[in-house]
């Protein structure tokens, strides 16, 4: 049994962490941190926790928290952890950060896209990018894990095998992604009001969304070179879910007869199977099936499908996840399981909810 603390426990991702960790047989939550609800009962903030959580919310004193627990989850805005993290904290506990503070290795790129100063760049090199299916061994030995964003988790997993195997030109990659409104957080914001969101769909962060460099960095590692992509997110009127539809030009590859041609459906499927066949949380769909957010809701699964457009020589890749689970809290728990030697799906073997 390990002890866990959560800073930002009253946001959507933090609340999802609480829900998942309460069902984890190896974890005891010792600290429900929330700057906005100090001394209020957690179950008063989230009524679904009535008679399940009796604790009151505490502050965000991470130095004190680090002395009491084995792992800290920080479900906080960008800049919080970078502003308080010290070597002493990392000597006392492991940290899984759900913000973007340690996802990007280049501090200048972080400061350019997030418009804030990074206060602890000395930890950037050490931080492990916590996309478990790609960096499993590095996560196991980490003190500090940068939990990926929801858009990036879905988008990277959807394209990674084809980039890694050289089946597509990554510089032609276009990512068109849609998210439920919980991805914007629980704060009161005019664009997130019911009347603003309901019966509406809109693009935002066009050619400027801050997840773009994260996507480019990670897919660049897969390609073995720098890549430049186009990424456009959209807000849709649903609570949960990410659906990424991605387009890229196919590259001709050597065939068994020695000629070069665009890869077949069988070759593309083989590439996905090479990397994901043994992955519990990634479900590569049968040919002709398209991922839907409703089939992953409430779960840590990522569903992936594809369709080759022979007319244009391009491929359409599709991925779906629950933005609060595989895109945030579930992936954080998956990282924790790896860091402490638990079964990777412990506390996460959740059947998707429907309806």
Which residues are designated catalytic?
A: 150
| Strands (E) located in 215-332 | 230-235, 242-249, 253-254, 260-261, 282-284, 302-309, 314-321
In terms of phi and psi (left: phi > 0; alpha: psi -120 to 50; beta: otherwise), the region of 341 is left
Residue 326 to residues 153, 297, 348: CA-CA distances in angstroms?
8, 10, 10
Give the other-Cβ count within 10 Å of 247's Cβ: 17
Q: Which helix (H) or strand (E) holds 177?
A: strand 174-179
Residue 278 · residue 344 · CB < 8 Å = no
Place of tokens 């914001």: 189
Let me know: does 234 contact 176? Beta carbons within 8 Å. Answer: yes
Nearest to 231 by CA among 306, 182, 170: 170
């Amino acid at each position: 049994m390990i002890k866990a603390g959560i800073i930002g426990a009253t946001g959507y991702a933090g609340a999802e962490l609480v829900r998942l960790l309460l069902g984890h047989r190896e974890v005891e939550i010792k600290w429900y941190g929330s700057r906005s609800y100090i001394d209020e009962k957690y179950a008063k903030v989230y009524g679904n926790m009535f008679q399940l959580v009796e604790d009151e919310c505490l502050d965000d004193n991470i130095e004190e928290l680090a002395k009491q627990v084995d792992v800290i989850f920080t479900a906080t805005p960008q800049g919080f952890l970078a502003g308080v993290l010290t070597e002493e904290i990392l000597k006392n506990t492991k940290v899984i950060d759900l913000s973007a503070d340690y996802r990007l290795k280049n501090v200048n790129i972080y400061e350019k896209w997030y418009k804030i100063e990074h206060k602890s760049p000395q930890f950037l090199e050490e931080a492990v990018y916590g996309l478990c299916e790609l960096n499993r061994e590095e996560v196991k030995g980490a003190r500090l894990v940068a939990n990926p964003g929801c858009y990036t988790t879905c988008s990277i997993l959807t394209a990674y095998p084809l980039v890694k195997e050289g089946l597509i030109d990554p510089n032609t990659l276009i990512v068109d992604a849609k998210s439920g409104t919980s991805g914007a957080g629980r704060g009161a914001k005019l664009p997130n009001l019911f009347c603003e969101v309901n019966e509406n769909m809109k693009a935002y962060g066009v050619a400027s969304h801050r997840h773009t460099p994260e996507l480019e960095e990670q897919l660049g590692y897969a390609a073995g070179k720098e890549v430049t992509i186009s990424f456009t997110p959209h807000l849709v009127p649903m609570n949960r879910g990410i659906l990424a539809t991605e387009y890229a030009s196919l590259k001709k590859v050597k065939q068994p007869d020695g000629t070069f041609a665009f890869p077949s459906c069988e070759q593309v499927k083989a590439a996905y199977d090479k990397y994901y066949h043994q992955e519990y949380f990634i479900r590569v769909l049968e040919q002709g099936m398209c991922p839907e957010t409703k089939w992953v809701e409430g779960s840590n699964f990522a569903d992936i499908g594809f369709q080759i457009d022979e007319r244009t020589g391009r491929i359409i890749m599709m991925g779906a996840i629950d933005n609060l689970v595989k895109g945030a809290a579930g992936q954080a728990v998956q990282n924790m399981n790896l860091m402490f030697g638990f079964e990777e799906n412990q506390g996460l073997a959740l059947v998707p909810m429907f309806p």
